[in-house]
């Protein structure tokens, strides 16, 4: 037999309290049996006394061994009790530490059954202690359905790599609301079982600060482009003034008059598009991720840039029309392009150059030629923005995406632009890389994952003849010129119109005869009572009444909120004739 194995067995046995007591008892019994009679015979010769002593010898052995065993057991029990108390203290300490954490703690098995948790998780989930204790709670129940697949893929990566991984997702609270959460999870094996465990931190405040950071940079970028925007607006206004003056002089020549009016309309349309681009870029909105084709967004951004940067900088674009869709918010994509192009403009500001923007599909196989792409294999869109400017030093490249880091002179920028771009791209599960050489230029490459279905734009084909009607419409706008032109357009389409410039007067007239009007068209921003409040009061009296809300710009309402209020349509000003005609007819025919 292997001596080492014997020693290990003996050491193991000696650590066992019951074995130690039994061993001591056995040794004492053997010694007593072997030597007690011999000792008595050695000193006692009287047979009667010897018999008496042998009887007492048995009782003495029982008493002595009982005392010895008592003290041995008390010693071992004391050690066990101390060990148990230590374990209880450690368990209590760990529970207090876990429960005092600002976030949630969780441990679940490979079936996602929650086994350990802290008080924060229980409170947020709204689960009863009984549900938690009986193992009826599964951690994935706390994750929104649209994010479960991503969460499971992350768990698979943790299991495969045996490494801690962080993931941004959401947590479903007891009331059904969702909060953004940063999860960090690891993978352990214990007692032949496998577990995932980790922490989750509420990042609502961080998201709010990020949003404020993005908004601050939007305003900074608008300031940078303000001169070019003003220049473009002045050109548009010059054309409108000029052709209006010519139209007044050519009232006798109908053909030339129509040509002048067409030019005025084109100028007004250009102004409308420019305002819309500025609002799209600067608006602080709730980001709604949806599948969308980004070709048109990139072109819109380049159109705004063209009017904002000097002609010494040539803009080239190579936009592939067959690229797939990405899951994003249009404003985010607009901001990424604007920020990267504005950065390129600053690099070429002094000596001019070429600003190139391209959009191409890309398949990443894991063996891409691009360096350090932190992406899983799959289909992506690659947006590349390059310039022939001053380039970026190697040391500066290491910090290029840090917030507030900038190589620009004081007053030329805060250094937020590229950190904002990096934040947007990573939030869309994409990646961004930069390649640059001093005095040659820079290339920024953005990679965004392709999704299966694309955004479907407006497919309405406006008929050559505008739709008309004979219904009765109330028009409400505090600007008399807008109220007047809207009423004239509607009357031209065959409708009967009452125009009002006060929302209070409009409500009083509606209350006097609620069934008189078939449709109400109201402005949003008005004194005393907003269009939203007017619509709410009207719908309180007649829930089925049809209302169209118009606005030039408002932070208080959007299309989705208008629909929730019961408003049938939401139109951005200025409202052209065909949009007005089609929208009014569609709402009346609902």
Name the average pLDDT for the chain: 80
| CB-based contact 449:326 (threshold 8 Å) | yes
Following DSSP, what letter does each residue of 256-270 receive, concatenated? HHHHHHHHHHHHHHH
Q: What digits encode the pLDDT tens for the residues 92-103? A: 887 888 888 888
Entry field: residues in the chain: 590
Round to whole Å and give the CA distance between 278 and 416. Answer: 19
**pLDDT reported for residue 218:** 63
- DSSP string for residues in 172-233: E-TTS-EEEEEEEEEEEEETTEEEEEEEEEE-HHHHHHHHHHHHHHHHHHHHHHHHHHHHHH
CB environment 27-46: b (16+ within 10 A), e (fewer): eeeeebeeebeeeeeeeeee
| Domain(s) of CATH 3.40.50.2300: residues in the chain | 472-588
Residue 425 pLDDT: 87
472-588, what's its fold? Rossmann fold (3.40.50)
**Ranges in the chain annotated CATH 3.30.565.10:** 207-451
Confidence (pLDDT) at 509: 94
pLDDT of residue 402: 63
pLDDT of residue 541: 93
Read off the pLDDT of residues 364-396 as tens digits, 9 standing for 90 and up: 876 654 555 667 788 899 999 999 998 888 777
541-551, pLDDT tens digit by residue?
999 999 999 98
Residues of the chain within CATH 3.30.450.20 domain(s) are 101-202
Rounded-to-integer distance, Cα 95 and Cα 430, Å: 39
Task: Give the residue ranges of DSSP H helices in 391-518.
Answer: 394-397, 417-427, 480-492, 503-512
How confident is the model at residue 18, as a pLDDT? 62
Q: What is the pLDDT of residues 106-156, one digit of tens each?
A: 888 888 888 888 888 888 888 887 777 777 778 888 888 888 888 888 888
Write down the pLDDT at residue 491.
93
Which has more pLDDT, 371 or 274? 274
Does the pLDDT of residue 318 top 80, yes or no?
A: yes
In the predicted structure, residue 516 carries a pLDDT above the cut 70: yes
Burial of 57 (0-12, 13-18, 19+ CB in 10 A): middle
Q: 10 Å Cβ neighbour count for 20? A: 15
Average pLDDT over residues 331-342: 85
Tell which wins on pLDDT, 202 or 24. 202
> Residue 313: beta bridge partners?
353
Q: What is the pLDDT of residue 498?
A: 95
For the segment 36-54, what is each residue's pLDDT rounded down to a tens digit? 666 766 676 666 766 776 6
Torsion of CA 159, 165, 170, 175, to 10 degrees: 70
475 against 525, higher pLDDT: 475
Q: Between residues 65 and 379, which one has the greater pLDDT?
A: 379
- Write down the pLDDT at residue 538: 95
In sequence order, what are the residues at sequence separation of 6 or more whose Cβ sits closer than 8 angstroms to the Cβ of residue 29? Answer: 61, 65
- Identify the three-state secondary structure at position 116: strand
**Distance in angstroms (rounded) separating the CA atoms of residues 353 and 83:** 77
Whole-number Cα distances in Å, 43 to 30, 53, 55, 110: 21, 11, 16, 75
pLDDT tops 60 at residue 457: no
CATH class label, 207-451? alpha beta
CATH architecture of 101-202: 2-Layer Sandwich (3.30)
* Phi-psi region at 126: left, alpha or beta (left = phi > 0; alpha = psi -120 to 50): left
Give 287: exposed, middle or buried? Use CB within 10 Å, 0-12, 13-18, 19+. Answer: middle
Distance between CA atoms of residues 224 and 235, nearest Å: 19
Residue 455 predicted with pLDDT over 50: no
Residue 150: name the closest of 367, 359, 427 by CA: 427
Which of 160-164, 281-285, 358-362, 488-492 shows the lowest per-residue confidence on average (mean pLDDT)? 281-285
Q: Report pTM.
A: 0.47
Higher pLDDT, 548 or 25: 548
Looking at residue 460, its pLDDT comes to 38
Q: Is 326 helix (H, G, I), strand (E, B) or coil?
A: strand
């Amino acid at each position: 037999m292997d001596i080492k194995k014997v020693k290990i067995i003996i050491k193991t046995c000696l650590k066992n309290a019951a074995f130690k007591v039994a061993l001591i008892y056995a040794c004492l019994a053997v010694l007593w049996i072997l030597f007690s009679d011999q000792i008595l015979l050695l000193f006692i010769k009287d047979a009667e006394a010897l018999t008496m002593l042998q009887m007492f010898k048995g009782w003495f052995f029982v008493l002595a061994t009982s005392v010895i065993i008592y003290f041995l057991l008390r010693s071992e029990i004391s050690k066990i009790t101390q060990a148990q108390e230590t374990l209880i203290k450690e368990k209590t300490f760990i529970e207090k530490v876990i429960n005092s954490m600002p976030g949630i703690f969780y441990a679940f098995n490979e079936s996602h059954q929650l086994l350990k948790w802290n008080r924060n998780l229980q409170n947020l989930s709204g689960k009863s202690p009984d549900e938690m204790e009986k193992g009826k709670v599964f951690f994935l129940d706390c994750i929104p359905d649209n994010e479960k697949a991503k969460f499971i893929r992350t768990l698979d990566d943790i299991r495969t790599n045996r490494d801690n991984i962080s993931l941004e997702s959401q947590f479903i609270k007891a009331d059904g609301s969702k909060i953004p959460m940063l999860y960090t999870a690891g993978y352990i094996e214990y007692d032949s079982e496998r577990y995932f465990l980790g922490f989750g931190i509420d990042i609502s405040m961080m998201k709010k600060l990020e949003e404020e950071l993005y908004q601050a940079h939007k305003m900074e970028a608008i300031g940078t482009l303000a001169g070019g925007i003003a220049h473009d607006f002045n050109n548009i206004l010059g054309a409108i003034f000029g052709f209006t003056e010519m139209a007044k002089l050519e009232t006798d020549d109908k053909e030339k008059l129509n040509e002048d009016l067409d030019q005025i309309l084109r100028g007004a349309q250009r102004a409308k598009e420019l305002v819309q681009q500025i609002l799209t870029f600067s608006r602080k909105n709730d980001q709604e991720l949806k599948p969308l084709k980004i070709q048109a967004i990139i072109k819109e951004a380049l159109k705004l840039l063209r009017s904002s940067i000097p002609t010494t900088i040539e803009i080239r674009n190579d936009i592939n029309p067959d690229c797939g869709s990405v899951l994003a918010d249009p404003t985010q994509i607009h901001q990424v392009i604007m920020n990267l192009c504005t950065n390129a403009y600053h690099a070429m500001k002094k000596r001019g150059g070429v600003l190139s923007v391209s959009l191409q599909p890309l398949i990443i196989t894991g063996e891409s030629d691009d360096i350090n792409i932190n992406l899983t294999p799959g289909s992506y869109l690659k947006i590349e923005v390059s310039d022939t400017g001053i380039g970026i030093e190697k040391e500066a490249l290491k910090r290029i995406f840090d917030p507030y880091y900038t190589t620009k002179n004081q007053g030329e920028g805060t250094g937020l632009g590229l950190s904002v771009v990096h934040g947007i791209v990573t939030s869309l599960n994409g990646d961004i890389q930069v390649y640059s050489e001093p005095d040659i230029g820079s290339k920024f490459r953005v990679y965004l994952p392709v999704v299966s279905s694309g955004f479907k734009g407006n497919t309405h084909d406006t008929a050559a003849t505008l739709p008309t009607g004979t219904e009765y419409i109330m028009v409400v706008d505090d600007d008399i010129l807008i109220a007047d032109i809207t009423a004239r357009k509607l009357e031209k389409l065959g409708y009967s119109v009452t125009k009002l410039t006060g929302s209070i007067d409009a409500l009083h007239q509606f209350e006097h005869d609620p069934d008189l009007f078939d449709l109400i068209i109201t402005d949003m921003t008005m004194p005393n009572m907003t269009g939203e409040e007017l619509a709410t009061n009207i719908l309180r009296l007649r829930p089925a009444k049809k209302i169209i809300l118009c606005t030039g710009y408002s932070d208080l309402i959007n299309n989705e909120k208008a629909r929730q209020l019961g408003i049938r349509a939401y139109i951005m000003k200025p409202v052209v004739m065909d949009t007005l005609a089609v929208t009014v007819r569609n709402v009346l025919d609902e």
